[in-house]
Structure 1
Amino acid sequence: MRRLAVIRDIVVNLVTSNSRDPAAAYAISVARMFDAQLAGIAMCHSPAIVAGGMEAVPADLIESLHEESVRAANGAIERFKQAAAQAHLPAEAQMVETSIEGIPRTFGRIARTFDLAIVAQAEPEVTTSTGLAAEAAMFESGRPIVVVPSIQKDGIKLGCILVCWDGSRTAARALADSMPLLERAKSIEVINVGNRRREAEESLAAVGRHLARHDLNFSTKALTADGTDVTNVILSHAADLSADLIVMGGFGHSRLREFILGGVTRSILDTMTVPILMSH
């Protein structure tokens, strides 16, 4: 009997800005599926305050904002522990203190020693520790990341997985990283979105041979799109399939302390409606 690939440990970036945390709930369900170790990380930071002119920022204001951040992190940890206990799942949690600027590299460094990192979708047009952690996990950890949409209510489901394939290195990385999930899926559809149909079909045939060697139940499909509507094509097709998960390579690059996502990657993360596994 063929042994399935497994996920041994998972780290989740806990949401501290509100009481609802779709990433934590999803991470608990993934940990239960794989009987994996689960760790929750709540980021705490000092405020980034830029004073106008020569005016000094009052020390008591800085301290007050820092204490608020600590309370929020502790609250997230307590909610996470309660949710894990209700699921009868052993889990550890810790507060990590850093600067706002240090959040990306800190979480990315932590995620390097876990099989999978799970984060919540960032709030649109708002720079938060959640958004920074998501991009850092992708660029800095060398590990796969699952981004959970803010509207997510259910735990992990693997009825149908949609794999986005363009033959790139990042797509290949995501495909390999998602194997523990693909092996448990009821159905898999691999799509190539573009204008060059012949090249798409050849690339899909090659990846299809690879998946067949893993005895996976899959289908392939070439979809047409110009450069401006790739995101809509992917998400619309995912909706048509009632996909439970999207797998794709995360396109972008890191430069010093900047994390810059490619256009399609950014658009997907902004408008996603189902969990997405990304690798870079």
Structure 2
Amino acid sequence: MIKDIVVNLATGNSRDPTTAYAISVARMFDAQIAGIAMCHSPAIVAGGMEAVPADVIESLREESARAANGAIERFKQAAAQAHLPAEAQMVEASIGGTPRIFGHIARTFDLAIVAQTQPEAVTSTDVAAEAAMFESGRPIVVVPSIQKDGIKLGCILVCWDGSRTAARALADSMPFLERAKSIEVINVGNGRREAEESLAAVGRHLARHGLNCSAKALIADGTDVTNVILSHAADLSADLIVMGGYGHSRLREFVLGGVTRGILDTMTVPVLMSH
């Protein structure tokens, strides 16, 4: 059951597909929605050749505050147009402290909705996805930067590898699965019999919840698992992907690459992740 949602508001520009998507999710579940806009304290490097004038520091902070207040105003207007109860707040933090703070805020909400990570930029919006996943203990929905529409649940693709994080994501996605027109559960691997048995167990579990699903074991066959998932999602015209996030350590995935990292970088549809 989803009763409250928190969304990380984009302060950089007026187009914010994440906020629009979050509002559509709140409407679907008749949930309260809260927007968080970060106001950044300027990062001053100690030991520089010259001290940064106090008026310059204050000017930078005021500029960040204006951007945050602008994001809050756009959010409130969009929520009002959707006839949704909403609240919003500006939170002051350093750029480095933003991920932890947003993750802690998300702990008291049923769902956090954040923007897709942008590989070439490091902003408060970008780092919120991983922070919310690791710090909040709550499911998150990551919205791709190319998203144009609100939430649709014609088809949900569930990625299943039998891991703890996959089980957590499956449980957390139940409110979405209950509203889906179709559900497909996939396992991407070497096609062994164990995968089919595990998929059958998921099917029985969903059936006990009154949900029907199809299941398919996909063979990676040397192909990147991320590409297999996204290609299959495109074939199905999936509206949402459900998967566990960072089954391996975050450091290992950052250094060696991994499915979570790959999805965050190249996702084409919204993804519900749990850790």
Give TM-score, length-normalised by structure 1. 0.93
Distance in 2 separating the partners of 1:20 and 1:123: 15
The secondary structure found in structure 2 opposite 1:84 is: helix
Determine the structure 1 residue equivalent to 2:60: 65
State yes or no: 1:219 paired with 2:214.
yes
Determine the structure 1 residue equivalent to 2:38: 43
Distance in 1 separating the partners of 2:53 and 2:97: 23
Contact residue 191 and residue 217 of structure 2 kept, 8 A: no
Distance 1:226 1:59, change over 3 A: farther
Query: 1:8 aligned to 3, 8, 30, which one?
Result: 3
Kindly provide the CA deviation profile for residues 171-224 of structure 1, in whole angstroms up to 9, marking residues without a partner as x. 000000000000110000000001142121111111111111111121000001
**1:88-107 equivalences in 2 (<5 Å):** 88-107=83-102
**1:1-280 equivalences in 2 (<5 Å):** 6-50=1-45, 53-226=48-221, 229-251=224-246, 252-253=248-249, 263-280=258-275
Residue identity in the other structure for 1:36: A
Structure 1's consecutive aligned runs of 4 or more residues displaced over 6 angstroms after TM superposition are: none
For the aligned residue pairs, the C-alpha RMSD in angstroms reads: 1.8
Distance in 2 separating the partners of 1:109 and 1:87: 27
Distance in 2 separating the partners of 1:98 and 1:172: 34
- Tell which deviates more after alignment, 223-232 or 43-52: 43-52
Q: How many pairs are equivalent? A: 272
Residue identity in the other structure for 1:238: A
The secondary structure found in structure 1 opposite 2:40 is: strand
Distance in 1 separating the partners of 2:180 and 2:95: 38
Kindly provide the CA deviation profile for residues 153-173 of structure 1, in whole angstroms up to 9, marking residues without a partner as x. 111100000000000000000
Contact residue 41 and residue 95 of structure 1 kept, 8 A: yes
Distance in 2 separating the partners of 1:228 and 1:56: 53
Distance 1:31 1:197, change over 3 A: same
Percent of paired sites with the same residue: 86
Distance in 2 separating the partners of 1:10 and 1:139: 17
Q: Which runs of 5+ in 2 are unaligned?
A: none
Distance in 2 separating the partners of 1:235 and 1:27: 22
Deviation at residue 254 of structure 1 after TM alignment = 6.2
Distance 1:53 1:98, change over 3 A: closer
The secondary structure found in structure 2 opposite 1:277 is: strand
Residue identity in the other structure for 2:115: A
Deviation at residue 227 of structure 1 after TM alignment = 6.2
Contact residue 191 and residue 218 of structure 2 kept, 8 A: no
Kindly provide the CA deviation profile for residues 118-174 of structure 1, in whole angstroms up to 9, marking residues without a partner as x. 011132321110122111110010000000011111111000000000000000000
Distance in 2 separating the partners of 1:194 and 1:156: 29
Kindly provide the CA deviation profile for residues 4-59 of structure 1, in whole angstroms up to 9, marking residues without a partner as x. xx211000000011111111111111111111011000011112233674332232
- Tell which deviates more after alignment, 43-52 or 259-268: 259-268
